Amino acid sequence: MARWRELARRVGMKVNELCRVEGYRVIWLETPAARAGERSVYLSAGVHGDEPGATSGLLKWAEANEAVLKAGAFLIFPCLNPVGLVANTRVDGRGLDLNRRFHVEDDPVCGAWRKVMQGRRVKVGVCLHEDYDAQGIYVYELSWLPKGWSGEVLRRIATQRLPVEGRRRIEGRAAEGGVIQRRRIPEGLPGMPEAIALYDMGCGVSLTFETPSEFALDYRVKAQAAFLKVVVGMARGW
C-alpha cells in the first residue's frame, strides 16, 4: 500500500478509501481522466487473498507504466481482500468469498464497490486471479465483440515457463486455447463475481485472467504484468 500511495503521488492519481476491514484500509485509485468521466480501464486484484501473483503483478505493471497512467483513464482496486492476503486465504475474515458477493448492497466491501462503480463508464475491465488447478494461463472473457481479445493476448504472452492452459473444460465450462468466451451472463450462478458485475453494469469487455498458482511466483507476477501490458495497449485504441 505504501508503494501504491507513492506511485499515486508521482502520476497524479487520487487515492480513495473504499472501506475499512479489520483495521485495514481497502483503497481504490483513479486517474484525473477517469475522475473527469472519460471511459475508463478498470483493473483489480486481490479479491481472493491466496492469489498473491495477481496483487504483485498489478503493482509491477503500474510501476513500470507511469506514463500510461498519467495519460489514460484508469480505475484501480489493488487489493480488495487485504485480510485474506495477509492470512493467505481465499476468503475474507468472515469466511466469505467476496467474489460471489458483488450483488450484495450491504456488504462492507462489495456494497461500497457498487456505490463507487454506479454510473461509471468502463470500456474494459480486468480482474486478476490465480488458479490452484491450472497448468497454464487462461482467460474468462465476457465481451460484446464478435471476436474476443483473449486468444490474441495469450498468444503474445505465453512462454514455456507459463504455457497456455490446455484443458478443454475449465471449471465446468468449455474452453479452447485457454479461452472461455461468452456474450451472455451465465444463468444459475451461486453468486455474483466481480467480472460479471462489471459486465452487467455496461463494461464492454470483461476479462478474468488466471495464472497457475503452483508455478513459481516470479513467473506468475511477470505473466500478470505482461497480460496487463497487452490488454491496456489494445484498450487504448478502442
| CATH superfamily of the domain spanning 2-236 | Zn peptidases (3.40.630.10)
Instruction: Give, in degrees to the nearest 5, the angle at Cα 56 between 144 and 200.
Output: 25
Strands (E), the chain: 14-21, 24-30, 40-44, 74-77, 122-131, 138-143, 169-170, 173-174, 179-182, 205-212
Sign of CA dihedral 187, 44, 112, 203: negative
Per the prediction, the chain carries an average pLDDT of 96
Q: For 179-221, how does the pLDDT look when each residue is reduced to its tens digit (9 = 90+)?
A: 999 999 988 888 999 999 999 999 999 999 999 999 999 999 9
Distance separating alpha carbons of residues 197 and 191, to the nearest angstrom: 10
Q: Residue 74 pLDDT > 90, yes or no?
A: yes
Q: For 86-98, how does the pLDDT look when each residue is reduced to its tens digit (9 = 90+)?
A: 999 999 999 999 9
Q: For 210-219, how does the pLDDT look when each residue is reduced to its tens digit (9 = 90+)?
A: 999 999 999 9
Q: Which DSSP helix (H) or strand (E) runs through 225?
A: helix 217-236
Residues 2-31 have a mean pLDDT of 97
Residues 55-71 have a mean pLDDT of 98
pLDDT of residue 144: 87
pLDDT of residue 161: 94
pLDDT of residue 187: 84
pLDDT of residue 190: 87
Q: Residue 11 pLDDT > 90, yes or no?
A: yes
pLDDT of residue 52: 98
Q: Residue 110 pLDDT > 90, yes or no?
A: yes
* 73 in Cβ contact with 33 (< 8 Å): yes
3-state secondary structure 78-125: CCCCHHHHHHCCCCCCCCCCHHHECCCCCCCCHHHHHHHHCCCCEEEE
Q: For 154-176, how does the pLDDT look when each residue is reduced to its tens digit (9 = 90+)?
A: 999 999 999 999 999 998 899 99
pLDDT of residue 15: 98
- In one-letter notation, the amino acid at residue 47 is V
φ, ψ of residue 209 in degrees (nearest 5): -100, 135
pLDDT of residue 206: 98
**Counting Cβ atoms within 10 Å, is residue 118 exposed (0-12), middle (13-18) or buried (19+)?**
exposed
pLDDT of residue 238: 80
